[in-house]
Amino acid sequence: MSLFFFSLFLHAYLGVRLIPALAAWPVAQLLLGLSLLASMVLMPMGLTARRFKSPLLADRVTWTGMLFMGLFSSVFVLSLLREAALLAGWLWLLVRPGTFSWPGLNAGSAAAVALLGLLMTFLGFFNARRTAAVVRVEVPIVGLPTALHGFSIAQISDIHVGPTIKRGYLQAIVNVVNELQVDMVAVTGDLVDGTVADLAPHVAPLAGLSSVHGTYFVTGNHEYYSGAHAWIQELNRLGVRVLMNEHVVLPHGLVLAGVADWSAGHFDSSHRSDPHAALAGSPANAAFRLLLAHQPRSAVEAEKAGFDLQLSGHTHGGQFWPWGLFVRFQQPFTAGLHRLENLWIYTSRGTGYWGPPKRFGAPSEITCLRLVTVS
């Protein structure tokens, strides 16, 4: 119930600040009012729809609730920017009276908030629902053996199969990855938002991933919200190798390791993320050490453990503006290729989305990484 009251409070604020300002456009007032009313009810319902007995109804309510959440988020942020603009305009008129029309600024800015919020949501929906584009990245490695020059990795991450992402969405991703004909595939966590019982048919396309050396997976935080132990068993059944603080040795001296999610120890102490343990017992003369770790903040310990490259996700690149500006307060890297001492780290913006079907300013990606030798 508190969720509904919180939603009521936030939507009431928007209604009070925007609807009266649109008095010159009665139709716009009505549409905005109805939209805020629907959003106020459907947003909290979308977050709690899993309680419904009917899976079909739960999915549909989640869909509508998440769509309104995406719209609300943009309108709310734009409204806060509008408040700042109105304050600046009011102060300016104190200094320079008559410079511009205050009613015009009040009405025009309210209309701009509504229209821009709608446009951002429409474009964000299109970007979220399309199949992610391939992003090609070359990782320069000093002293990389000739045999590993050109070694290719397809990384997919943060797909979030669940109420709004189903089998067809994942199958399209698998088709693109297979066309890349890479040496290995890495799935860096947050694959699902739901149980094996509900989502196993929708995750099944992962069994069709093809590469020279196979598909490897590490858990993300959302696996622990969804029954991580059952998902580990299911993924192994599908032929996807789950690396739990362990490693495998691939040809040409490449050591591939994976750690459980950075927060996994809070859910199961035996899953405590440990890059050092993941590398224990590996060949001392390994030509290259690659770590799969869901969260970028695993990089500090990964660098200490002696890894050359870490592949991560988790951040979604912020998913849609302006949240990418705040990721840096929780993670050391938001997106792309970065250097931490002797470690390269690549952070994917994610291949799906979480919550609102919306990506604006942070497009999804299927990453094709290629190791290259540099002197």
Distance CA 309, CA 152 (A): 13
Contact yes or no for 273/265 (Cβ under 8 A): yes
Q: What band does 240 get if pLDDT is binned at 50, 70 and 90?
A: very high
Average pLDDT over residues 246-260: 96
Q: 371 has which bridge partners?
A: 139
Mean pLDDT of the chain: 96
Q: What is the pLDDT of residue 311?
A: 98
* Tens digits of residue pLDDT in 126-185: 999 999 999 999 999 999 999 999 999 999 999 999 999 999 999 999 999 999 999 999
Q: Of 10-14, 52-56, 224-228, 232-236, which range is least confident?
A: 52-56
* Tens digits of residue pLDDT in 205-236: 999 999 999 999 999 999 999 999 999 999 99
Q: What is the pLDDT of residue 263?
A: 96
* Tens digits of residue pLDDT in 281-322: 999 999 999 999 999 999 999 999 999 999 999 999 999 999
Average pLDDT over residues 23-44: 95
* Tens digits of residue pLDDT in 343-362: 999 999 999 999 999 999 99
Q: Where are the domains of the chain?
A: 2-128, 134-374
Closest CA to 291 of 353, 342, 345, 360: 345
Distance CA 367, CA 67 (A): 27
* Cis peptide, bond prior to residue 322, ω within 30 of zero: yes
Average pLDDT over residues 32-54: 91
Vertex 275 angle, CA 260 and 160, to 5°: 30
User: For tokens 């999610």, what's the residue?
Assistant: 261
Q: What band does 53 get if pLDDT is binned at 50, 70 and 90?
A: confident
Q: What is the pLDDT of residue 88?
A: 95
Residue 375 has pLDDT above 80, yes or no: no
- Tell me which CATH code domain 134-374 carries: 3.60.21.10
Higher pLDDT, 199 or 375: 199
